[in-house]
Chains A and B, each alone.
Chain A
């Protein structure tokens, strides 16, 4: 006798997986109760102090005298924010860095949706960056010239980030391709360059650039600190990005390249249309972390005398009229970085989901 199933088996619900509801996860078991109590103990010891510092005793209006023996000196930030954000840029011309910051942030926001990834957007970026540099430097269209040594604050941070990523990406792609080249000499040179740039601390590289720049240039020629720092950051981002891209390129099956060639695409087209999009899709998480590293690295220019957010913050803290509200100042600068870096991380997660659905 055989058994032939005529009706389908009833579909069972999947076993419950996922998290307990809040209440049972905090008080469900003995271990959870202990954890809750430990966290509550620390919160009880620290939170009231923090809230009193920030709000109850915080100084929201008044002047320097009010901040003595008080809580958080928020009024200090209100007073010093323009200097922290724009540094030693001439006060009458502050609309220029403000414009540059808005343009860069606006362009970034505009580029985020998938449908805006077009040639026109790329062109707008090139124009936007060139225009930003011109607006900062002046000397054209009746703008007062401002040398890069007088630039400061947020525009320096943003420009260094955007420029080092924009210039570093093609360079990094070149290094990644060279490391996969069939020519051994190309492989060796690329590997050596990348490993040196990755093994030596950025701070050391910045010092080396400061020492080597006058020796490498013909006598009498000088190069701005901004340019020097930009060269270092570009090379470093290129090295970091090349490692990420190399990982992605290795993950694209050879057959993809061969079939694209069989379709009659040129080598450049094979790379740009077929291989690279797949490679980048594979390495979105490390790509985002690398971009965040590059953003955070810009805070190092402080040590070579460039005036970014962090050094501006350090300078305002030296004002003897105020009781050195370091926590408020660093908190504010940290929040700016956090907003940018966390934004990048979140956006990458989002893209991973969107692109992951399209790809296989």
Chain B
């Protein structure tokens, strides 16, 4: 007897029941919500996004003022979220790799101290770490008058960090164009796997840049923060909120990045080292040509999850009062009462960003697949 592939009782009926139940639940929810919204005289429309926001945002990477619309307030929040996410991801990897190497090293002190650090940051909530660093900055650092100066030109105060910036004097445009072209070309070549050509191009860019520098007679002028009436002026200022979020999140994320890198390196079979040595490669070459390409492939999926976590954890900036997308949407919700719309914007924004991270990492995964095979 041949059974039909999709017989009614085992294929259509359960799905009809499931779909019916879900639809009925959604309909019941919709009815309750519309009823409650009618009681509260709430309306659903995205028209409010054009209205003036009227609330201040303490700091942002994009220009914002309270006379701007809600749509621009959301964009400002998104900008801050992206700034946090990108900075934390890059810095946590830069810090995580040496941490992972220290945990794998034969050096007893390095291994123990890196292990204690990684265990410590990974096993305590980020909220506490952020609050702690915010306390360190706002309570324990000195006032601007007696600023703590770890390096000349860097001032740490309870009002924030003030860093000397370098400005270029003279017509710098040709230099900027040259460096941009060189950087893009290097990155493209490296992405295509042509590492040798990439290094030649980057070297060439440096030489041309240096020649331009001398030819155009450019100079550097440092912009040193000076103590004004109440606070430092000039240079680059990082507010206590941003500093606490970045410091806390980077340390936290670096613990996780270090574990992923360590696990990735450990997952490459020890025989690969032996085989590479047998081929006559030295330690550096075995690491670069044999171990790292394989470890990288193992690290990519957990790294994708880690990057999405960083994005989601950026919402915790709220506890120290740094305005990112989630808290700005929450403020908007409280100001306008357009709760459903704000929630929709939030959910779509985070799902899109998380999906974007996954897509980008999958593209990278396919690249590495081509290198290794």
Contact status B355-A39, CB under 8 Å = no
Contact status B15-A200, CB under 8 Å = no
The A-contacting residues of B in range 97-122, CB under 8 angstroms, are 105-110, 113, 119-120, 122
A98 in contact (CB, < 8 A):
no
The A-contacting residues of B in range 16-63, CB under 8 angstroms, are 18-19, 22, 29, 32-33, 35-37, 39
Contact status A337-B18, CB under 8 Å = no
B350 in contact (CB, < 8 A):
yes
Interface residues on B, range: 35 or more
A299 to B319, CA, bound (A): 11
The smallest C-beta distance from B364 to any residue of chain A, in angstroms, reads 19
Residues of A within 8 A of B140 (CB): 327
A200 to B122, CA, bound (A): 21
Give the contact stretch, choosing among A59-67, A207-215, A227-235. Answer: A207-215
The smallest C-beta distance from A318 to any residue of chain B, in angstroms, reads 13
Using an 8 Å CB-CB cutoff, how does the interface string of B281-307 with A read, 1 for contact, 0 for none?
000000000000000000000000000
A10 to B230, CA, bound (A): 81
Give the contact stretch, choosing among A183-191, A256-264, A265-273, A352-360. Answer: A183-191
Contact status B312-A183, CB under 8 Å = no
A110 to B108, CA, bound (A): 36
Residues of A within 8 A of B313 (CB): 201
B354 in contact (CB, < 8 A):
yes
Closest to B308 in A: A199
B238 in contact (CB, < 8 A):
no
B124 in contact (CB, < 8 A):
yes
Contact status A201-B326, CB under 8 Å = yes
Contact status A26-B109, CB under 8 Å = yes
Interface residues on A, range: 35 or more
Q: Counting chain A CB atoms within 10 Å of each CB, which of B36, B270, B313 scores highest?
A: B36
A333 to B22, CA, bound (A): 42
Contact status A183-B123, CB under 8 Å = no
Give the contact stretch, choosing among A70-78, A86-94, A114-122, A338-346. Answer: A338-346
The smallest C-beta distance from A248 to any residue of chain B, in angstroms, reads 16
A276 in contact (CB, < 8 A):
no
Contact status A185-B18, CB under 8 Å = yes
Q: Of the candidates A32, A292, A326, A333, which one forms a contact with B139 in the assembled complex, judged by CB atoms under 8 Å apart?
A: A326
Closest to B140 in A: A327
Contact status B124-A338, CB under 8 Å = yes
The smallest C-beta distance from B31 to any residue of chain A, in angstroms, reads 10
Q: List 19 A-B contacts (CB under 8 A).
A: A19-B106, A26-B109, A35-B110, A39-B113, A196-B351, A199-B308, A200-B312, A200-B346, A201-B312, A203-B326, A207-B330, A215-B339, A216-B29, A302-B319, A303-B318, A327-B132, A334-B129, A341-B123, A342-B119
Beyond A215-B32, A215-B37, A299-B126, list 8 extra A-B contacts (CB 8 Å).
Answer: A32-B106, A211-B343, A219-B39, A300-B316, A310-B131, A326-B131, A337-B124, A341-B123
